[in-house]
Chain A
Amino acid sequence: MNVVVLVKQIPDPANPYELVDGRLKRGVAQKVMDPGDEYGVEAALRLVDQFGGEVNVISMGPAAAMEAIRRALSMGAHKGVLVTDDALGGADALATARVLAAAIKRSEFDLVIAGVESTDGSTGVVPQMVAELLGVPQSTFAKEIEAKDSSLTIKRQTAAGYDMVECPLPAVITVTAGVNEPRYPTFKGIMQAKSKPVDTVSLGDLGLGGDDAKPTQSVDAVNPAPERGAGEKFEDDGTGAAKVADLLKQLKVI
């Protein structure tokens, strides 16, 4: 089973971020592979351990996004593709999906795995668009994955519980943070990562033009979430517990 994992390099969420003209400043901050992508890499490695085949890591981003691919390679992935092109600066979800779909199509695949959403952009729609562009089924929010020869069953996490969803392969799935516990890269894996094959390709190499990379949506303004106000304070004159209980009832907590 050949599995493609989509990964993204993002500014380290552990550090404070900076916005310039409504866009995340990507230049200086320390960057990491999106922690949400580690679950996808781990899921892919387990499937390949079980069925054989290779894990191919695909990313779109500036040249430095190679580090995110290396991180996945050091965990055990076999090869990678980095799509990098100046024309892609500011690409939105659809443009990203077009690029990723084109990169995926360059080789045979049985399954594409992505995180539910990126930690920085949080659009949560790229994998679905990729599935549509590839013309394959999509199955999202996987909390558990079970593969057979030509089909896949996932436990799809929902607000109410979970659905069991089965789909034929090839397919695109997204995985939640609960799907597995990602392995640490081993020291040997880290040392070997640099010698694993990674293709660096441009839009032109994928048969795409500048129009394909043009954003179809624009961000007008970015505002920080309003700070939470101070809570309501009850002085306990003997009726404090009842007042708190009333408030909780009003809020439908109890």
Chain B
Amino acid sequence: MAEQPMPLWEVFIRSRTGLAHRHVGSVHAADAEMALQAARDTYTRRGEGLSIWVVPSAVITASDPQDKDALFEPTASKIYRHPSFYRIPEEVGHM
């Protein structure tokens, strides 16, 4: 019987200290439930996680590296968009 390659899933983990889920890597799994378990077993072995998301890699639409200049270059000259000119009061916390 011909073996079918298992789909790839992207893994996002929200850590104990983190505010948002962060991409940590990928796993192979036959379906979503097994992907979640594989992600747990592969990426939370050292107490890293409080929450896991898995997303089929195939549904992610990525930008083309060749478009790098057109997409990202124009922002380089707009330093006034960086909030580094303002002092943020400490009480505000994370922005």
Q: Do A and B bind each other?
A: no
